[in-house]
Amino acid sequence: MIIAVPSSDFLLLFLVLESKMMSPSPEAELAESLANEVTCPICLELYRDPVRLECEHNFCRACISTYWLQGDQAYTCPQCREIFPQLQLKTNRLLANIVQRVRRLRFDSSASPVTNRRESVGSGPVCEKHQEKLKVFCKEEDVAICVVCAVSKEHKDHNMAPIQEVLQSCKDSAVDLKKHICTEYDELLQFLQAEKELLCSQLQADQTRLEQLRDDQLKKIQENMAEIEEEVKKLQAKFEEEEENDFQVLVKVTLFQNLFLLGFCSSEVRLTFFPFNLIPVNSEKILYCALKKIQKAACSCFISTAPCTLTLDPASANSYLTLSDDLASVRYCYTPQAQLPDDPPTEESRFDFCACVLAKQGFETGKHYWEVEVGAHSDWDIGVAAESAGRDGWIILTPDNGYWTYGHQLCPLVGVYLDYEGGQLTFFDATDMSHLHTHVDASFSEKLYPFFYPSAESTAKPLRLLNPENCSCRKNTQTETTGAF
C-alpha cells in the first residue's frame, strides 16, 4: 500500500532516509521500507515514469495505461476503485526523482523483497526507446516490445501476446518440428536403403545374364570356327591336288578374301592363307569367271541356298517407272504409265511420289544373295525395305524409316547379301567381289523386300535383276537380253 504524504514532508523523509542509508547497516530496515513505498502496485517494480491520479495514488504510466485498456470500466483506480470522469494523468516529478536516487543506491538483493523479485526475473533486454523490459510480442510486425510500445499508436491496434507465452509456443513448435524432421529423415533413409538393395539386385541379375550370354556366344563361335576350319582344310587339300597355276592361286586368294569380309574365318586362318598380297595377272575373262565360281562356292557353303530369283512387283511401282515383260528390268520414264490391268496397285502398296519399286519376294528368315545391274550412272539406290515402311510422299532412306540401302556410286554391278537373323546387310562390287558397304547390328523384326531406285538419267540403261537364269557369268558367252519395254 502506498502512503500519500505532502510533497515537502516526503522530500524531508527521503533526505533523512538517504542520510541513514549512508550510515552503517542498522538503518537498512528504513531503506527497505522506503523502497516499498516507491514500488508500483501493478508491476511490483520501482516506478518508471510515475503518474499521480486525482485520488493521489501513483502508478507507472505504462502500467495504468495497460490496465485501463484491458479493463471493462474506464478510468478506475486499481487500488481505491474511484471512478474518474475523464483521463487525467499528471507526472509525479518528485516521485520520479526519488526513484532515480533509489536506483543509484544499488540496493543489494537482501535490502528489499521488491528488488529481490525484480532481479529474480532477470535483467534481460530492454526497449531502446523506453528502457523498459521486453514483455510483449507484436505478432503483426514479428517483434518484441515493451508495455509502453504496446499502448502506443504504432502498436495499439496490433495482435499481441505476452512474450513468455510466445516463447513457450515456439519451444513447443520446435519440439514438434524436431520430431517431424526425425520421422521424415528415418523414412528417407529406409527408402534409400530399399532403393539401394533393389538396384544392387538388378545389377547383379544383369551381370549374370550378360555373363551367360557371353558364354553362349563364345560357345557358338567356337562351334562355328571348328566347322569353318574343317571346311578350309578340305578346300586346301583340294587345291593342293591340282596344279598351282595362276588361275588356281587367284581363285584361292579371292575365296578367302570373301570369307574374311563375311567374317567366317578366324585370325589364324587368315594368317595361314594370306601371307602376302597376290596381284591377278590373268585376263579379265579368267578373273570374271573365277569370281563367279567363288560366288557359287560361297553361296553353297555359307548361305545354304543358291542366288535367289527375284521379280519386280508392279503393284508397288511408281507410275513413272516402266517394267519389262519378264518383270526383271525397270527404267525411269518422263511420263506417267497406266496401271497394269491384271495387277492394279492399291493406294497403300505403291510409291506415289518417289520412283521406287519393290520385289514380289520377301524374306523373314535365313541368308540370301542377289545381284543387280545398276548401269553406268551413279544416281541409284538398292537394298531392302520393311513391309510396314511408308511409301507416301518423299521417302527418306534410313533404317529408322524402315529402309536399309546403298547407292550413288559408280559401280555397274552390285551384289547384295542379307543375313536376317544376324542383322546384317552387305553390298559387294559383283565384278570383283570387293566390299562396298555393310549395315551391321540391324534389328530386323518384320518381312523385308528387296528395294530398287533406278537412275533417272535419260541415257541410263534399265536397272536389271541378274537371276540364275540370266546371271552375269553367262553374259560373256550369251547375248545380253533386257526384256521388252
Rounded to the nearest 10°, the torsion over CA 108, 112, 117, 123 is -30
Residue 39, phi then psi, degrees to nearest 5: -110, 135
Rounded to the nearest 10°, the torsion over CA 353, 355, 359, 362 is -40
pLDDT at res. 257: 53
Sign of the CA dihedral 268, 272, 275, 280? negative
**What's the Rg (C-alpha) of the chain?**
55
Segments of 146-302 assigned E as strands: 160-162
Cβ count near 252 (within 10 Å): 19
CA distance 101 to 95: 10
pLDDT at res. 89: 79
Rounded to the nearest 10°, the torsion over CA 245, 251, 256, 262 is 170
Residue 407: strand pairing partners: 381
3-class SS of residue 363: strand
CA distance 94 to 115: 21
Pairing outcome for strands 160-162 and 329-332: unpaired
User: Scanning the structure block, which residue is given the C-alpha cell 519376294?
Assistant: 361
Over residues 140-153, the pLDDT tens digits come to: 888 889 888 888 88
pLDDT at res. 373: 96
* Alpha helices for 71-162 (secondary structure H): 93-104, 113-121, 147-150
Q: What is the pLDDT along the chain (485 residues), one digit of tens a residue?
A: 333 333 433 343 344 444 444 444 545 565 566 777 788 988 888 888 999 888 888 999 888 888 888 766 567 888 888 887 777 778 888 888 888 887 776 444 334 444 443 443 445 688 888 888 888 889 888 888 988 888 888 887 888 889 888 888 888 888 888 888 888 888 888 988 888 899 899 889 989 999 999 999 888 888 888 888 888 888 878 767 665 555 555 555 555 555 544 444 444 444 444 443 333 444 444 545 555 555 555 444 444 445 789 999 999 999 999 999 999 999 999 888 776 544 555 556 899 899 999 999 999 999 999 999 999 998 999 999 999 999 988 999 999 999 999 999 999 999 999 999 999 999 999 988 889 999 988 889 999 999 999 998 888 899 999 988 665 444 443 334 334 45
pLDDT at res. 293: 53
CA separation, residue 158 to residues 129, 140, 147, 268, 325 (Å):
19, 6, 13, 95, 102
Residue 416: strand pairing partners: 370, 427
pLDDT at res. 134: 86
Containing 248, the helix (H) or strand (E) segment is helix 246-262
pLDDT at res. 315: 93
pLDDT at res. 401: 94
C-alpha cell at 121: 526475473
User: Scanning the structure block, which residue is given the C-alpha cell 563367279?
Assistant: 292
Q: For each of the domains in the chain, give its residue range(s) and CATH number, in order of start.
A: 7-122 (3.30.40.10), 321-474 (2.60.120.920)
CA distance 194 to 174: 30
Over residues 302-325, the pLDDT tens digits come to: 444 457 899 999 999 999 999 999
Sign of the CA dihedral 127, 133, 139, 140? negative
pTM over 0.85? The answer is no
CA distance 2 to 91: 16
Sign of the CA dihedral 203, 205, 209, 215? positive
- Buried-state track 34-69, b at ≥16 Cβ within 10 A, e below 16: bbebbbbebbebbbbbbbbbeeebbbbbbbbbbebe
pLDDT at res. 294: 52
CA distance 385 to 408: 17
Sign of the CA dihedral 333, 338, 341, 345? positive
C-alpha cell at 396: 527418306
Q: Crossing angle, helix 113-121 and helix 28-37, to 10 degrees?
A: 60
Residue type for position 329: S
DSSP code for 228: H
Rounded to the nearest 10°, the torsion over CA 389, 394, 395, 400 is -70
